[in-house]
Structure 1
């Protein structure tokens, strides 16, 4: 962590850092910061201790009158750092840095041109996949879709009781999917005019992609599993797992099938696809929220045990 601390709060900040289990390599450079004016304080902390330390620093309003920057260290060759890691409660992979999670979901759930572009492009790719009954295109569209960011934002907002984040995330989801479906409907009409799409292709047997507009209990089960896995990948910083989550849920393909079906007036397929979409979104939100709530409860229990042990010692 790197902090710019107002001079009148440096002593308190240093005492907090020194009293936080799992923190080491403390450096204090008085008066070197110019914008904002203050002392530069740096330290290394185990991931398990970061959330508690951040809360304490924010209670001192250092984030408002100074600054707090956090970055991961890929390699630290230090006996003291190893000892601090051992002293910290629990395992680093299990720790949730709530401030980091809130910041990440805030960025991912912000309605922007880039977000809408990815949503539209992913849905158009999926539209080609459903018409051609091509599973490779469907998987590609799932990987491109950015919808898990706002979904994670909704889960975080529910657990953290952050109504603004919830409203922003739900707005991004709603507008994102509606705009993607509208754009893909126009895209489908254009492809039909060019002779590349046809209603017979949509109505034909589609063994690879027919499941997209025919939701079943497995759709909800997979959405629950994906929601839990995706949330764990975000909280543990294992972003590689998030790619697997993205290609396991039928959100973008369902929106694409709804758009193509709408362009041809195939309302049965359209409503079936919308049902698939809503079922997947609900499953991800329920599982993601439950996973975060469980992590929060387990981590509070671990920290409580550590504090009681330290008091006894």
Structure 2
């Protein structure tokens, strides 16, 4: 496989990966887009923070210091996720290397998958609360006030696209491990030459996964923090503006939008956890298959069987020694356990916030 091979993704690949691969093969354009996105985020953040304080100072029924603080922290986390997500996606050649590797053919493994239908749900799901909340807010408060809250809606959707691109890239790695496991499970009688090719592929895939975790470590940490902060913001707004007498329009808008935003955000975290859990299961599956095949081998028969056993042991040692999972260094692993951690954190802080809001 040539390191400089042009990557051309078919229509079956996610739109996010097709756009990123096209941009990354035009380095100047990719850097310009990254710089433009950075400046737009910083400019809109300053505009939003300044305008929100002006709106809160004029609307006494909306003003609450706890809500303002949590909203500000949540906004900062959203912008941080987008900046630290777009910079490695657009400024690092790693994603292009990953796509070159995943699209390189290997006949013994058969065709690879390109996209998952669940990506469309992740891509378009957040539009429902964004459009609903935007329409209600602009209708009741007018553009003069809504313009300062529009930035958060845009950041939220950009974060969703960044997470979507991250998941699409992680799925490409997962499906490569799935192909190798399917080959090993389906063809226990594979030749030593075939297993040598597969073992080399497996080693390269493990190296790519290590680089993937290093490249997106900061993004994974911030996504978990941002999900926690966003759900806390939704819970705080729901308690303050729906549980207290703030007016019918405010109560209706809060009841309709905040639960939708919370469910969408938790859904994003669930999809990330699902992909991470699936990748971890593929690593465990590799270990089980290799143990089974090695136990079935009779080393006394056939000259090629010691070579087959050597390649199987090579794959087995890699599957046990390498971390085949999505992880942020020593912080955490992205699997179903992370949802429990987020839920526990939100529940703990919500109890404290309720005491401040309802006293």
Tell me the TM-score normalized by structure 2.
0.27
Which protein is richer in helix relative to its size? 2
Structure scoring higher RCO (CA < 8 A, sep ≥ 6) equals: 2
Which protein is richer in strand relative to its size? 1
